[in-house]
Amino acid sequence: MPKNRTEVLVDVCKGCGLCVEFCPKKIIRLSDDINSSGYHPAEIIDQEKCIGCGFCYLICPEPAMVIYREER
Amino acid sequence: MRKVYHRPEGLTDTLMRYCPGCGHGIIHRIIAELLVELNIRERTVGIAPVGCSVFADEYFNCDMIQPAHGRGPAVATGLKRANPDLIVFSYQGDGDLAAIGTAEIVHAAARNENFTVIFVNNAIYGMTGGQLAPTTLPNMVSTTTPRGRNTKLAGNPIRVCELLNSLDGPVYINRTSVHTPQWVLKTKKAIKRGFEIQMAKKGFALIEVLSMCPTNWRMSPIESSRWIEEVMSKYYELKLFRDLTKEEK
Ligand SMILES: Cc1ncc(C[n+]2csc(CCOP(=O)(O)OP(=O)(O)O)c2C)c(N)n1
Ligand code: SF4
Ligand code: SF4
Ligand code: SF4
């Protein structure tokens, strides 16, 4: 089980790419798929590496990101 | 696992119709988070501007009024004076606040009215198609200055924080930005301070937020973020201009 989890709300995302730019772990990319609004949504490439920092959520204008952190 | 970041209750379920990478969505979300965190959502009335965010009343999960272009501070004045226990915020773009609404904002600030202003500076008229705004930078291209803003012809930009900082009235004036996650956090702190000052009945707070308009800047969202970092924030200095509540102590 990964420590943290990032969920992309695919149909809320507008494929702006800001999360791709600001993810410190560089684990987000824009998918080749097309969502219901015609955008290429963000997808997480390597969930294991997510540190749960929330940068992708903070910079997302929609917001199309949901971040879960492991309970400590 | 615990959900730490998610769409705040201060936003409705209506999806925002802004362009991809537009700063308005980020700024809406910050305000919406604060409505919940400060537990003021049920007694807050927001004032929506005319501009791209004219439909803000559909997005904020609190009471909203949408007055005539630029008149937000006048409506906020009446609302707050008649209902001092409401929390009132005026959300305005640079065309709304610094062009057609210049008189209203200057006098509300001079009178130290007890409400909070969120001033979204994207250096352009977004909604109407990218025309010159009072905040358009020298030499910046807009649809009405296709060869760049010639200050001899089109005049010089207005720096709203600096202008209002010449008045005795305002309690709090800050300029921030939403072009990076770090600045998003700083903006949230600043707007929080603005609301707290109002809740303590201390007076007028204005937070200017530099915001991306990728569509009318003719840039990608990432290029827009870099442009704020490298160009716009050099002209519009990101700093706290005034916090009179600190000086009191
Ligand atoms: C009385 C009046 N004059 C002019 C307009 C046209 N108009 C609509 S939005 C706008 C300016 C919007 O620019 P800004 O406030 O910077 O907001 P943005 O769209 O960039 O968020 C203007 C001039 C109007 N709606 N009403
Ligand atoms: S939470 Fe941080 S590390 Fe995880 S995907 Fe988002 S930006 Fe990347
Ligand atoms: S920042 Fe938000 S809208 Fe932009 S690509 Fe990432 S998830 Fe999608
Ligand atoms: S035109 Fe500019 S300000 Fe308006 S929604 Fe599009 S990006 Fe945002």
* B1 and A5 Cβ atoms separated by less than 8 Å: yes
Report how far ligand 3's centroid is from the alpha carbon of B21 (Å).
8
Query: Is A62 close to B25, i.e. CB distance below 8 A?
Result: yes
For residue A19, give its domain range.
Answer: 5-68
Who contacts A9 (Cβ-Cβ below 8 Å, separation ≥6)? A62, A64, A65, A66
How many domains does the structure of chain A reveal?
1
All domains of chain B, ordered by start, with CATH?
24-243 (3.40.50.970)
| pLDDT tens-digit readout, B117-164 | 999 999 999 999 999 999 999 999 999 999 999 999 999 999 999 999
Query: Is A67 close to B5, i.e. CB distance below 8 A?
Result: yes
* A3 and A37 Cβ atoms separated by less than 8 Å: no
Quote ipTM for the complex.
Answer: 0.96
- For residue B66, what are its two tokens? 């949408």
| pLDDT tens-digit readout, A5-49 | 999 999 999 999 999 999 999 999 999 999 999 999 999 999 999
Distance CA B138, CA B91 (A): 25
Q: Burial of B42 by CB count in 10 Å (0-12 exposed, 13-18 middle, 19+ buried)?
A: exposed
Residues of B in contact with A63 (CB under 8 A): 5-7, 25, 29
- For residue B100, what are its two tokens? 């057609």
Looking at the complex, does the CB of residue B184 fall below 8 Å from at least one CB of chain A? yes
Instruction: Output the ligand 1 site: residues, CB below 6 A.
Output: B 49-53, 69, 93-96, 100, 122, 124-128, 133
CA distances to B76, B133, B149, B152 from B155, in Å: 30, 11, 8, 6
A63 close to ligand 2 (CB < 6 Angstrom): no
List beta partners, residue B87: B44
| pLDDT tens-digit readout, B160-179 | 999 999 999 999 999 999 99
Report how far ligand 4's centroid is from the alpha carbon of B80 (Å).
30
Taking the CA of residue B73 and the nearest CA in chain A, the distance in Å comes to: 26
CATH code assigned at A31? 3.30.70.20
pTM of the predicted model over 0.90: yes
